[in-house]
Amino acid sequence: MGLECSDFWNALHSFRDQIHRTSLPLTKPGVKLISITAGDLFSKSNYQDFQRFPQVDLDIAADAEATLPSLTESIKSQLTSDRKRALEDRRAQFAVARQESLERAREAAGYAWDASPISTARLCAELWAQIKDYDWSLVSFTTFVNRWPQRLWSFDKYHQYIGGHGGAGIGYGAPAAVGAALANRKYGRLSVNIQCDGDLMYAPGVLWTAAHHRIPLLTVMHNNRAYHQEVMQVQIMANRHSRGVDRAGIGTMLDDPAIDFSKLAQSMGLHAEGPITDPKDLGPAIRRALEVVKRGEPALIDACTQPR
């Protein structure tokens, strides 16, 4: 069952973008697919991108959040004792698999722990250590930091992750984070933004908006000094055509000069520190910024990071 899946096909398949593009289904043959989403009600013109259309057995155009409580109760009422025992066994297996996955992730995060620039694993681990005891909400996308939050953090509330932008639009991240932080403010919720450097350069004025309206938001820069997704894509295409791999940085790197995001943020009224290159300095800087955010103001930490 897919609940509000904007790209249900992607959730069901493994896709490899190579010269000969291939995909493999992740589900067993004959599995019954059900989609519940309000997204089907949004189609309104010829020219829109809806990703691939999956073949589903039951397509329900409805709001998943409103549907789920009654659906859950209906399923519970139909469970037999044998089925309940089977589900409990499955739950126990998932718990073991989750713990094993967490241990593997922690081991992997240890590599390059003391490296400079700071590894994305270290950045996310240091951030988690400071926010885990709060009512927090991650208001940024995680693909560009190798999804380390999902691998190292504990997500157990729906508001703890805003999700992605849907169309891979650069420049979405910072404004979306400020908007989500504004929505979280009335709940006293800690909004956390792992902010890509290139994305912020599309609309840096949103920092002033956050300062002007006293929107509490903790931003930690993923400052790898590049549009690194584009660097990798240019490298792939140049390699595919056997030419110009060494020029992949043209138009994709953000250096010479490097951008000082702490000064940019300070100029717009935020508490800001950095650029931080020593990973041992990151935790204390986050703690200081967190005190500012707890007072109801935005703060930014400029961390110089590895590409991914």
The pLDDT tens digits of the residues spanning 182-201 come to: 999 999 999 999 999 999 99
Q: What gap in Å lies between CA 267 and CA 172, rounded to an integer?
A: 22
Q: pLDDT tens, 115-157?
A: 999 999 999 999 999 999 999 999 999 989 989 999 999 999 9
DSSP strand pairing (22-25 vs 136-138): unpaired
> Where does the pLDDT of residue 166 fall: very low under 50, low under 70, confident under 90, or very high at 90 and above?
low
| 222 close to 123: Cβ distance less than 8 angstroms | yes
pLDDT, averaged across the chain: 91
| 190 close to 218: Cβ distance less than 8 angstroms | yes
pTM of the predicted protein model: 0.86
Q: Which residue has the higher pLDDT, 205 or 49?
A: 205
Q: What gap in Å lies between CA 92 and CA 84, rounded to an integer?
A: 12
The residues spanned by each domain of the chain are: 2-78, 112-304
Q: pLDDT tens, 225-235?
A: 888 888 888 88
CA-based nearest residue to 159, from 129, 127, 191 = 191
Phi-psi region of 44 (alpha: psi -120 to 50; beta: other; left: phi over 0): alpha
pLDDT at 274 over 90: no
Helices (H) and strands (E) in the chain — how many of each? 11, 10
Q: What gap in Å lies between CA 196 and CA 205, rounded to an integer?
A: 15
Residue 14 phi, psi dihedral angles, 5° rounding: -105, 125
Q: pLDDT tens, 241-267?
A: 888 888 888 888 888 899 999 999 999
> Where does the pLDDT of residue 19 fall: very low under 50, low under 70, confident under 90, or very high at 90 and above?
confident
Sequence-distant (6+) residues with CB within 8 A of 34 are: 1, 2, 56, 57, 58, 59, 60
Please give the pLDDT value at position 54. Answer: 82
Quote the CATH superfamily of domain 112-304. Answer: Thiamin diphosphate (ThDP)-binding fold, Pyr/PP domains (3.40.50.970)
What type of residue is 36? Answer: I
Is residue 165 exposed (0-12), middle (13-18) or buried (19+ Cβ within 10 Å)?
middle
Q: pLDDT tens, 21-48?
A: 888 889 999 999 999 998 878 777 666 6
> Where does the pLDDT of residue 167 fall: very low under 50, low under 70, confident under 90, or very high at 90 and above?
low
Contacts of 7-15 with C-beta under 8 Å, sequence gap 24+, read: 7/51, 7/52, 8/33, 8/35, 8/37, 8/54, 8/56, 9/51, 9/52, 9/53, 9/54, 10/51, 10/52, 12/54
Please give the pLDDT value at position 49. Answer: 66
Helix, strand, coil percent content, the chain, rounded in steps of 5: 45, 15, 40
Q: pLDDT tens, 50-106?
A: 677 888 999 999 999 999 999 999 999 999 999 999 999 999 999 999 999 999 999
What's 56's DSSP letter?
-
